[in-house]
Amino acid sequence: MIRFSLRCDNGHEFESWFKDGAAYDRMAAAGLVECPVCGDTRVAKALMTPAIAKVRGAKGRPEAPPPAAAATPTARAAAGPLPAQVLALLQRMRAEIERSCDYVGADFAEEARRIHYGEAEARGIYGEASEEEAEALREEGIEVARLPWVPRSDG
């Protein structure tokens, strides 16, 4: 069923229910739709009621586009210089490593191996190692972490 707001030639507005739009057209053409006020059969559709218009509009409307990817600003920031909060985190990590670990410099890979095989005191160490050295350590089952070594926060 569909409800049309109708208007006769004399300006009377009224509403009437029809099976569908085609049913209204047939009845109106046949002079079967008459104004309840003056009996005029020269009626025309006025605006449809908002409720009907809303339902029909929603049905035909395409899906709303998905919201823009929230990751975009993050990706943009990652491509540029380190965000301040990341830099601060890395500086805190560096300070913590320097406080609790021994610096072994270029001997890192060798010392890590000695610790792993019980030839040196078990402790946290840090130092420099090439990617090849780090990979060799990993293959021996020695856990190493590569960190971006940022300037100290205190300069």
Residues that bind Zn ion (CB under 5 A): 8, 10, 12, 35, 37-38, 40
CA 142 – CA 84 distance, rounded (Å): 32
Shortest distance (Å) from residue 54 CB to Zn ion: 28
Q: Are strands 102-105 and 125-127 parallel, antiparallel or unpaired?
A: parallel
Shortest distance (Å) from residue 30 CB to Zn ion: 18
Query: For Zn ion, which is the closer residue by CB, 40 or 110?
Result: 40
Shortest distance (Å) from residue 25 CB to Zn ion: 19
Are 45 and 68 a contacting pair, CB within 8 Å? no
Query: For Zn ion, which is the closer residue by CB, 31 or 57?
Result: 31
Shortest distance (Å) from residue 65 CB to Zn ion: 46
Query: For Zn ion, which is the closer residue by CB, 23 or 38?
Result: 38
Task: Tell me the C-alpha to C-alpha distance, in Å, between residue 42 and each of 1, 30, 88.
Answer: 22, 10, 79
Query: For Zn ion, which is the closer residue by CB, 8 or 112?
Result: 8
In what side-by-side order are the strands of the sheet with 2-8? 13-18, 2-8, 43-45
Q: CB count, 10 Å around CB of 137? A: 18
